[in-house]
Structure 1
Amino acid sequence: MNLYPGNIIQEYSSYPFAFTPVQYQTQPVLPSYQMYQTNLQAVLPLLRRTIQGERNDELFYDYLIQNAPSNQDKEIITSIRDDERRHRQMFKQMYYALTGQTIESTDSMPFERPPSYLAGIEKAIFGELGAVELYRKIYFTIPYTVFKNMVFEILTDELKHASKYNFLYAKNK
């Protein structure tokens, strides 16, 4: 019994990707697919960098909270800062589970005060979007579904944060 119309295969045959089931592949995985393979050695430095980055974000957001022009702004940024704290703990748990070693973040990076609250919000927007790019790399390289699920949660939080900062930017412009 044919469940699909006769032309459905033709419609998708021009699709730009052609996948061959793994058991039928005669060549090693192409380099373009390497970014989708888990790699413990590649993910560990990314996790270390991320743990420090989340700490720096938390300190920066403390500054924004102190300089927020309204209670609504303070509440929004406080919720984001609290998420960043939770993310740092989650990344530290992943690192410990993968290595058996604890990792602590330091306050070694000097804090650069933005010229204005609005400039700080703009910096926060692009910081959150940059984090999404980094966390996507972590998602692709980290082993085990449980860690991928944790990274996915964090990644979607970062997208939500960028949207909230975008709202604050538009509101205060």
Structure 2
Amino acid sequence: MYYYGITPNQLIQAMKGELEAIEYYERLIKMAPNREEANIIRAFYEDEKKHYNNFRRLYMMMTGRPPIILPVNKPKIKSYLQGIEQAILDELKAYEFYRDIYLSNINPYVRNTFFEAFTDENEHAAHLNYIYTKNKCK
């Protein structure tokens, strides 16, 4: 497993985070005040599914078996604006985690997988900041 430069536990953590984000964005899409914001969040939802599948594929390449991940809790979002604020923080946390794995790795497949994920997470945070600012100033 050294060849991959990442542990199965790190991948489980990444997959769990992606599943939580999928659930979270599914809820935020329903709370969005307009189609534009719902579509932006829906794109994040699709990215998170892609990341989950990429991490799952990598896990199976490493271990030869599918991952065992406990079901994630349903998100509790008090308000749309609070949900957007929390999503920004979660995206930045994921960005740092994925970036650190990318920077500490020499395996090209792992690096490409995590590069795509951390750049997407950073983009999500930027768009969420736009949504937050737009709604906060109303």
The alignment status of 1:130 with 2:74, answered yes or no, reads no
Answer with 69-78 or 98-107: which moved more. Answer: 98-107
Give the equivalent residue in structure 2 for 1:14: none
1:108-163 superposed Cα distances (whole Å, 9 cap, x missing partner): x3223221100000000000000011112322444521221111011100000000
Unaligned ranges ≥5, structure 1: 1-37
Deviation at 1:98, TM superposition (A): 1.4
1:85-116 superposed Cα distances (whole Å, 9 cap, x missing partner): 00000001111111112114442x32232211
The alignment status of 1:48 with 2:2, answered yes or no, reads no
Query: Aligned to 1:115, what secondary structure does the other structure show?
Result: coil
Identity percentage of aligned residues = 34
The alignment status of 1:70 with 2:43, answered yes or no, reads no
1:45-75 superposed Cα distances (whole Å, 9 cap, x missing partner): 1110110110011001111000100000100
Give the equivalent residue in structure 2 for 1:119: 82
Answer with 147-156 or 73-82: which moved more. Answer: 147-156
Give the equivalent residue in structure 2 for 1:81: 45
1:18-167 to structure 2, matched below 5 A, reads 43-107=7-71, 109-167=72-130
RMSD of equivalent CA atoms: 1.8
1:96 partner letter = M
Alpha-carbon distance in structure 2 between the residues aligned to 1:164 and 1:95: 29
Alpha-carbon distance in structure 2 between the residues aligned to 1:96 and 1:143: 19
- Larger helix share, 1 or 2: 2
Alpha-carbon distance in structure 2 between the residues aligned to 1:41 and 1:150: 13
CA change 1:163–1:133 in 2 (3 A) is same
Asked if the contact 1:43–1:138 (Cα under 8 Å) also holds between the matched residues in 2, the reply is no
Unaligned ranges ≥5, structure 2: none
Deviation at 1:171, TM superposition (A): 1.0
